[in-house]
Amino acid sequence: MKRIFIISLILLVGAILLIFPLIRDEKGSIEEDKREPAVFLFNGPLAVIGEEEVTIGISVNSNEIDRLQLIYNDSVLNSWLNPRGELSFTYALGKHGIGAKYLSLRSTLNSGKTVVESRITRVLSDITPERKKVRILATVPHNDSNYTQGLEFYNGVLYEGTGDEGNKGSTRLGKVDLKTGMYGQKVGLSRPYFGEGITIMNGVVYQLTWRNAKCFVYDSEELQIQSEFNYNGEGWGLCNDGTHLIMSDGTERITFRDPKTFQILRTIEVYNNTMPITNLNELEYINGKIYANIYLSDGVVAIDPQTGKVLEEIDASELTRLVLPQLEAGEVLNGIAYNETNNSIYMTGKNWPSMFQVEFVKTY
Ligand SMILES: [Ca+2]
């Protein structure tokens, strides 16, 4: 019994001696990693408004830095050689546009090793959006089995594209009779395609799909498929400014694309003066502004196409209230179409029985 006890004791001491250096090593290495050669003096992400100047504080923890660079996305804002102690740099980050960017410290050590410390920075819009609401000018029928994803006029004719609600192969694209709300000429996409936003430009209809990463291209007269494009990510809303296709993907980002190749030409991030506006859905280009339905809300935002700043926030809850008793879950406001031949705006929602001619008026 005594021998067993002694053997156990020896094994225990042996195990402790074996494990202890491992624990010590692990702790030592963690502490070493924590000590970055240079760090920002603010915690968490940084938020700034528009082109206000912000002072960025930096603490240098190492005497071994040959060169320290302050980098904002791809731009080097400042460099220091053999930096010591605390540093600061004052700059208007909004000069590079609004949205989420990376602010980084790149330390190049005397040994040649490079260490990078990054923080997310959000530059918010410096514009307080104008508050507006809808005023109803007329009510017309809408086909309540149309799960509306795209709505746009072309040469005075209303085109509507739908999604495949319930995975039944019910994606449609067609021309709508405003008097009845029903399709005249129409075509369909079979499963697995789930139709999303549509836009019409130079005699061509573009129809996005939700998660199929494919845009179908039809001629606007006969609605025959001519070609298709592939893209990355989800497809939500689509409109055009007469030159470029403008696309949303459910985030706060909007991409401008070449109508001939579907390649991305530029991107904007949509912000108001407090936050990014995500869930951007069906789109419409009206007199130099992009109007976007915000998915699962009664809100529409008007966006500056150059900067991504929100110019107007429009409350369309009056429309939802009028159709609410007949709605099921998910049958939300979605669809803005501008008829430039008579300067009228129409709005509807998914499976809504009505479509409304509206104007946007200031809220006092
Ligand atoms: Ca539209």
Q: In angstroms, what is the span from residue 200 Cα to ligand 1's centroid?
A: 10
Q: In angstroms, what is the span from residue 285 Cα to ligand 1's centroid?
A: 8
Q: In angstroms, what is the span from residue 348 Cα to ligand 1's centroid?
A: 10
Q: In angstroms, what is the span from residue 329 Cα to ligand 1's centroid?
A: 22
Q: In angstroms, what is the span from residue 198 Cα to ligand 1's centroid?
A: 7
Fold classification of 130-362 (topology level) = Neuraminidase (2.120.10)
Residue 8's pLDDT is 54
Q: In angstroms, what is the span from residue 322 Cα to ligand 1's centroid?
A: 21
E strand or H helix that includes residue 2: helix 2-34
Q: In angstroms, what is the span from residue 297 Cα to ligand 1's centroid?
A: 16
Q: In angstroms, what is the span from residue 249 Cα to ligand 1's centroid?
A: 14
pTM for this predicted structure: 0.87
Render pLDDT for 251-295 as a digit per residue (tens, 0 to 9).
999 999 999 999 999 999 999 999 999 999 999 999 999 999 999
Give every CB contact of residue 271 below 8 A, 6+ residues apart in sequence: 98, 99, 122, 123, 124, 125, 252, 277, 308, 309, 310
Q: CA separation (Å) from 4 to 1, 13, 290?
A: 5, 14, 82
Omega prior to 192 cis, within 30 of 0:
yes
Q: Domain 38-124: give its CATH code.
A: 2.60.40.10
Instruction: Let me know if 236 is exposed, middle or buried by CB neighbors in 10 A (0-12, 13-18, 19+).
Output: buried
Low-confidence ranges of the chain (pLDDT < 50): 1-2, 7, 9-33
Q: In angstroms, what is the span from residue 127 Cα to ligand 1's centroid?
A: 25
Q: Fold identical between 38-124 and 130-362?
A: no
Q: In angstroms, what is the span from residue 286 Cα to ligand 1's centroid?
A: 10
Q: In angstroms, what is the span from residue 312 Cα to ligand 1's centroid?
A: 17
Per-domain residue ranges for the chain? Answer: 38-124, 130-362
Q: In angstroms, what is the span from residue 197 Cα to ligand 1's centroid?
A: 7
Residue 3's pLDDT is 53
Render pLDDT for 99-125 as a digit per residue (tens, 0 to 9).
999 999 999 999 999 999 999 999 999
